[in-house]
Structure 1
Amino acid sequence: MNEELKALLQSFTEYLQIEKNYSTYTIEHYRHDIEELYVFMKEQGLNSLEVIEYFDARLFLTSLYEKKLSRASVSRKISSLRSFYRFLNREKLVMANPFSFVAKPKKEQKLPQFFYEEEIEAILVACEGDKPLQIRNRALFELLYATGVRVSECANVQMKDIDFSLSTVLVKGKGSKERYIPFGSFAQDALKDYLNESRPKLLKGHNHSNVFVNHRGGPLTPRGIRHILNKIIESASLTGKIHPHMLRHTFATHLLNNGADLRTVQELLGHAHLSSTQVYTHVTKEHLRKTYLAHHPRA
């Protein structure tokens, strides 16, 4: 990667941080997608972003399919590069956006995976224990299931964000949009146990306001949370690895199964568009269908 391309990527990164206020996780994806384009440029002998044309963009798209990437990954990369070129065009560094007319693949219609209530109970049993890390893990799982927050949002929750008098947590979502989410008595009890008994022991002299602490006393990262969840699922003897988003899916599915309206679930999840939440209605319908087929005598 030559110095000019490095400088452009750095400028775009600063734009995402300062103007768009994107999370570190999102910005990493953008950087990775653009660096992948830079590798392609080197392979094709393209020495600047200005010379890339629609044909080159199509060729890049073909190279992504040859790598057997999922439709979602390909679609995200195209979106990243469109945004990159829009930024370059705004700064008058290029004249055209070769990715504007590259068709993104249609999304795969996969229903979100979720846990059944008896599986949640098995996981909660696996979280039991009186050691500081076990108490933390119980509180972590209870909060994730009770609120449906993203792992990155959970990792960033601060002490001042939890209001026990109202049983709510203040969450900073995508684009730093804030929302208050209520939690129930089980999460409240688990959090109080953790904050009173476990967190002070885990801090080990560290001074920070993150609610969740790792075994060294520092703030727990999203990667750390994923590792903990995988360990919990192993202890519960459930098959397969737990994907952090499964708890978010479970939160939404269980609310809808028990009569919550779609708009409320949308607000709790922090979805900008109702269409993002509507996928869970398909999950609940499929659940009803399977239950019917399994139990109706003339199904």
Structure 2
Amino acid sequence: MTERIAAAYDDFGRRWAHGTSPLYEEWSTGIAGDREVLARLAALPAPVRQPNRIFAAARWAGSPLTGYPQWREWLAANWDRVVEVAAVRTTQTNEPARCATLLPQLAAIPGPLALLEVGTAAGLCLFPDRYAYEYTAPDGAHRLGESPVVVPCRIDDAAAVPERLPDVVWRRGIDLAPIDAADPDAIDWLATLVWPGPDHAGRVARLRAAAEIAAADPPGIVRGDLLETLPEVAASAPADATLVIFHSAVLLYLDEDERRRFVELVDEVRAARDGGVVWISNESSGTLPPVDALVTPGLDTDRRFVQSVDGAPVALAGQHGATYEVRPFGAA
């Protein structure tokens, strides 16, 4: 058990936090080699001991943002409080900047769109048409939209830069524990889930501004298991709109059978609507084997999602929306 936990923390530090959050990389790799802390983690339920959840719970409880030796002393002295927070708070990273990596695909879909996000948290990614975007491409800067929420994104092909905002006529979300964007405490927790580090400067302010947009016009969010509620919620989408089912870093929390069932459900929804459905997935490699099988062997996917549309990989999307790469897949 402790070896598996050590491997998970080492992977989190070296694969995901490396180069983007030096402090979380140090904490993760420190824990990976710390038998006492690993033993404490092994006593917790699997969802509670996730790195981002433990780290955010520690920060919520007042931990210092210091190197591992000092932080570890604090953690040992405040372990019960950290576990108490982690037991009632969940990992629901709700990064509105991910819309910058969704927009190239959304803008290419004709007609009005009905957006359905699974694992939506506060629904901040349901408003791609309400944000502004600053794409930096090889040919220069491209600005799209006007909004208090401005999302920067580096894109590797000018042809992939979207030229318009989507026409969204319906937006719904599904989540086991929906977050009210108007709840200050809930938004404070989402802000605590933002990683420390220079690459994440601006994310908290952007999150809070996006929460204000969502609070002013709340999307319909259904509380429930996505495997149980997806068909019913999808059936309520307007028939004259293209239904877009999307998610980011959600399916990794399902087991292999549950992931297969989710893909089957998407196919069932598509059949029920006589087509008219687009499925956009942003998940780390290893989550959807049929998608991985279509990715060029040896392609470096660390710190990025493999974005797929209807099961075909189309881009590498930065996990927090900062980058979008289509060239590894041959075309914009």
With the length of structure 1 as denominator, give the TM-score of the two structures. Answer: 0.27
Relative to its length, the structure with more strand (as a share) is: 2
Relative to its length, the structure with more helix (as a share) is: 1
Q: Which of these two proteins has the greater Rg computed from alpha carbons?
A: 1
